[in-house]
Chains A and B, each alone.
Chain A
């Protein structure tokens, strides 16, 4: 084990290498590593954001769907109501129409009855006069007995 000038040689080359490493090697490598760290951090941040966005939009979609369902149910209920209403209205109309038809028929019947009665009345008058003429064997003057005949007819 001998100590000689080599110790200085080594010390000098050591200093030179360390300085070179400090100026031209270390900063470049750490810079790149920091940059990559930043890139990775940004990537992770973006992924998180995307996830959040996805969550938000799926929430929104679910809400939209819910609302659409409610709206659909509402529409169906409305349509149902309207249909019932229409049926009700149609029923009422039909009843009304029926009543009206019934009333008209009644009127026609009444009219017919009245006319028949009038006719009958007239016929009965004539028949009575003829019968009375035969009973009395004399002609009954229609003008003389008109008043009596009218009375009889009114009694029918």
Chain B
């Protein structure tokens, strides 16, 4: 809903601007008052809204699961425990089918955290786009993006962490020499092709976190943008588009959380494979 003082493009731009705390060009730190100021901060800035929602939802997820885990009984489980166990079993099944039975204490909780956390962050997309920004506006905060996964920093932050994890496991499982061999003698197993192989394998390696992070970001950003565009319609027409899109979006947010988790499992599995010819 565009208010009288804003044009459509201003409204959209406003909705796509993060609440940012950072270093101004003159050296002092503070919240950016408008888009230009924020842009001038460059790298030395942090999206407070993304971090707030991401951490709050992460804590909510851990609190919920921890509460259930502490009160869990081996007898007949309650509804919440059932839900938690279904999630855990779902993650466990996927790991079993992709990763197999290898011993790795990290991959399962990592996947569970990704699945639920990303899902919760995506879920914020279904809250009508104006509600939370309006509330925060009333509290004096003028920029508020609630969908953390529509922030490339958030998705790339996760995918790059996973990338380092993949590097760590590659080196630990295959040894530094084995890892070097893998990226230098693959896909063409002759010595003359080593430089070419290294270029090709580096691209393969680096494209993984990039595609993983950008896929989630792209989907959520596009979804949010469409909700913002729908919100520009007169209020009595909005539901005709917002409702079908929201229903469709339920599928997208679950699917993207699932894809992000599956890719993580696949990448870590690849890091564990000693010979792949």
Contacts and interface: CB of A to CB of B under 8 A. Distances in A.
Interface in A11-37: 11, 13-15, 17-18, 20-22, 24-26, 28-30, 32-33, 35-36
A29 B45 contact: no
Contacts of B88: 26, 29-30, 33
Contacts of B54: 10, 13
A33 B89 contact: yes
B153 A36 contact: no
Contacts, number: 125
> Chain A: interface residue count, which band?
20 to 34
B116 to A, nearest CB: 9
A26 B108 contact: yes
Nearest to A30: B88
A17 B84 contact: no
Contacts of B108: 26, 30
Given A1-B152, A29-B65, A29-B69, A7 B85 contact: no
Interface string B153-191: 110111011000000000000000000000000000000
Contacts of B113: 14, 17-18, 21
A89 to B, nearest CB: 77
A4 interface: yes
25 contacts: A4-B41, A4-B47, A7-B160, A9-B51, A9-B153, A9-B157, A10-B50, A11-B157, A13-B51, A13-B55, A14-B113, A14-B161, A21-B65, A22-B109, A24-B62, A25-B65, A25-B69, A26-B109, A28-B69, A28-B70, A29-B65, A29-B84, A32-B72, A32-B85, A39-B75
Interface of B: 20, 22, 39, 41-47, 50-51, 54-55, 58, 61-62, 65-66, 68-70, 72-75, 77, 84-85, 88-89, 92, 105-106, 108-110, 112-113, 117, 148, 151-154, 156-158, 160-161
